[in-house]
Structure 1
């Protein structure tokens, strides 16, 4: 695989690459690091947790990110740790099947299948390609200062670091986002929509078991993944299970919050603490699943593999200001953001404030419309699969039982058309029959190729 660095360029166009500070060693931060490893752009990752370890249950990667995994040499490794998606099953609270959603074989149309993977395994794959010395744990961002000379980040342990670009990849409750919004609000530059708190959300408990005996649960013998979604008609709970590689079952339980509960959880704003474990387990332990009760799955899950998260839906208008930029939180969205952001930083012709401002602005312009569409789609799917109102139930019944396959295929095709690739690596051709949005190689990349070709000819 061809990789180009500024040292390959003639002295007239060489420049000192920017030093990028990445707050958060999650999926987005690690993907960005993997891409920057293919350049001479220097970076460091600062993770608030003292121990670098993944949390969460399962992640479904769609074909839009597969070309980038190919470019990075990660695609075959991803296939080794994931299942292609087969079906989605909607069940009632007694785990009785109400409807099936056939995900089909996407190889012919999309060129790739959806990949169901344990979030921990995906995390480990991305982490394995990042030099350990570039990740510094126990560094929680509390504030930062930025001007035309650079950006200085302050951490909770009272240490500081200087760089050229600060990337907030530290999740929904990003310390970078909170400080940026606070400063913009003081200056009267924060949009009104970003000043408002969300009004609804879910509290979730997620995890994944140790391996089960496939003779006890024959479904685990399948080499394809499927997700079972159970929805209660008598409570605000929904829960799901997914079979993963290695005869492991990923599970989650989600409770829709009323306005008072939501306000309390938002104020508390904590991800997990041991004292929160038992009350939630008591609430969900009798819930039925295709693999026994949810309580039995929790018993088969090591405590370090269980996490509690507070989920809220909100689309932010503010993505960047000065030298600071934010990337998404969901796996696919975060990966796409990392790809486009890396392209924009790479394309910089000089390491100046104006060049950085232009690059970060271009990143938002390229990603905004697609991200907004994805947010609306995710919000709609949340109502379909996890909503508890009468309207949500009616909508779920209609879409699951009466939506024509052609309409579903058309919707999927629209999503699959956008597949951002790493513009300074050889582009992957379209593998399927479906149309995809064209992407040009980096102009800087093409100039480098031409210069190198001429240099070779001259020698």
Structure 2
């Protein structure tokens, strides 16, 4: 990931904006340079809406494992003219291979091949750092600011909103977007303000709950002779369910010849951030290498299916082939907040809906948030009032919430399936013997959400199942009012 700054801003997919100051389009401040925030910036770059991205990290370095994206996000890459590069950087994924016996033998498969007919294309697996780099390169250098940690936000109603950073600087805009993750500073400031006004939902005034702890990493490029799964054109997506233990571990092969891996431990009972001794929110929730060594030692003996029967791999082998600074230990929270906006502030991605990784749709939903939110912002009138902005935010939440609720239910299902115990065993049996019509129905339920950007040329959807109705697709930008002297006509 050393090429961020040298390649930054070089993509032809993001031409410089040409902003007409007479139109008084709202200035958008995006807090968070993760996948969701970058996706939103990439879309706004195609409009006349001024925007800036502020990231608290000092350098653009994305850690983590791999991202599984179904064809439901293809339109975003195609509309922004980076689909071919995206596809070349990822691997198609046709199935999830499930090992329920820890014997390196596939017990059953969850076949994704029906997506090609239902959605018009097959999904991809891409390493998280690679996807981050691709999106980062779509943002011009002067649009993104590093080392900007939010201290406070000041919503001045129709005068705009001001953000103050820890380095003593501040900036003012018309719209503030919190794309800064589960421990969002934007959300904390918004909720504090709403609580003081008795406008915060009681269900949202809680510390973040978590019931899983995860260790993730990505190896160096490996010799395919040692890890034969890398020789296959499609991603080898393998999930091993711990036998009589609360563990699940996943491996995914990438187009770069690496193996992305994650090991998830289910804790005995749910905890919250307030249970931890260190209550400085977000300290060890980052994609960083903190507190990983002990967990690495605990899981080294777990078996891994590599395709190499003569010299079997274990999790310890993967760890040994992974740079230490690319190994992270994180808590994985699960919550869908009821409050997504207030005044000129709105949340997206993990800041308003943190989903369990068991369903593999957290990143996908953040990117779909970006599409819908960009549509509603683009539909705002010239010089929008706070009331105009709140109406747009309400429309955004109304459009996204049903899909987020469905995704949260799905991830809880898969989380229970992986956690162990009697209920998990029953679910595993049902999934293993699920009839084709039930599998198809499951895919249809989650895959009908295929939003597109309203202000870019639409792409053809070749799926046999039509996309769900998308209100923001019809939220066109209002035409400018032109005054003239009738006598001159």
Fold agreement, TM-score > 0.5: yes
**How far 1:108 moved relative to its partner?**
2.8
1:218 CA drift (Å): 2.0
How far did 1:442 drift?
Answer: 4.5
* Deviation at residue 43 of structure 1 after TM alignment: 1.0
Is structure 2 residue 92 aligned with structure 1 residue 84? yes
2:375 and 2:52 map into 1 onto residues whose CA distance is: 18
* Equivalent runs, 1:34-49 vs 2, <5 Å: 34-49=42-57
Residue in 2 aligned with 1:312?
A: 333
Q: 3-state DSSP class of the match of 2:134?
A: helix
- CA gap 1:394/1:444 in 2 versus in 1, 3 angstroms: closer
Pick from 436, 442, 467 the counterpart of residue 436 of structure 1: 467
1:104-183 correspondence to structure 2 within 5 Å: 104-148=113-157, 149-183=159-193
C-alpha distance after superposition, 1:248-278 (max 9, x if no partner)? 1110011112337653388464135656122
Q: Is the 8 A contact 1:2 1:426 kept in 2?
A: no
Instruction: Compute the TM-score of the two structures, normalised by the length of structure 2.
Output: 0.85
Alpha-carbon deviations, 1:220-272, whole Å to 9, x = none?
11111131111223332211111111221110011112337653388464135
What is the aligned-residue RMSD (CA, Å)? Answer: 2.5
Q: Mark the runs of 5 or more structure 1 residues left unpaired by the alignment.
A: 452-459
* Residues 1:323 and 2:338 aligned together: no
In the alignment, what sits opposite 2:246? 236
Question: Kindly tell me: are residues 21 and 312 of structure 1, through their superposed partners in 2, closer, same or farther at Cα, counting changes over 3 Å?
Answer: same
Matched, 1:25 2:39: no
Deviation at 1:141, TM superposition (A): 1.1
Aligned to 1:457: none
- 2:301 counterpart of 1:286: yes
Secondary structure class of the residue paired with 1:252? strand
Shift of 1:304: 2.5
Post-superposition offset of 1:395: 1.0
Measure the CA separation in 1 of the matches of 2:271 and 2:382.
Answer: 50
> Partner of 2:389 in structure 1?
356
Matched with 1:454 is none
TM-score (norm 1): 0.90
Match of 2:435 among 404, 410, 420: 404
Offset at 1:366?
1.4
Which residue in the other structure is 2:265 paired with?
A: 255
User: Pick from 94, 102, 117: which aligns with 2:111?
Assistant: 102
Deviation string 1:366-424 (CA, Å, 9 cap, x unpaired) is: 1111211111112212222x212321122112212x11111111121122222111001
Matches within 5 A, 1:188-207: 188-207=198-217
Match of 1:271 among 271, 285, 290: 285
Q: Cα distance, 1:97 vs. partner?
A: 2.5
Kept in 1, the 8 Å contact 2:209–2:270? The answer is no
Unaligned 5+ segments in structure 2 are 1-12, 307-312, 351-361, 483-489
Q: Partner residue of 1:456? A: none
Measure, in 1, the Cα distance between the counterparts of 2:14 and 2:299.
52
User: In the superposition, relative to structure 1, how do residues 363 and 225 fare at CA in structure 2: closer, same or farther (>3 Å)?
Assistant: same
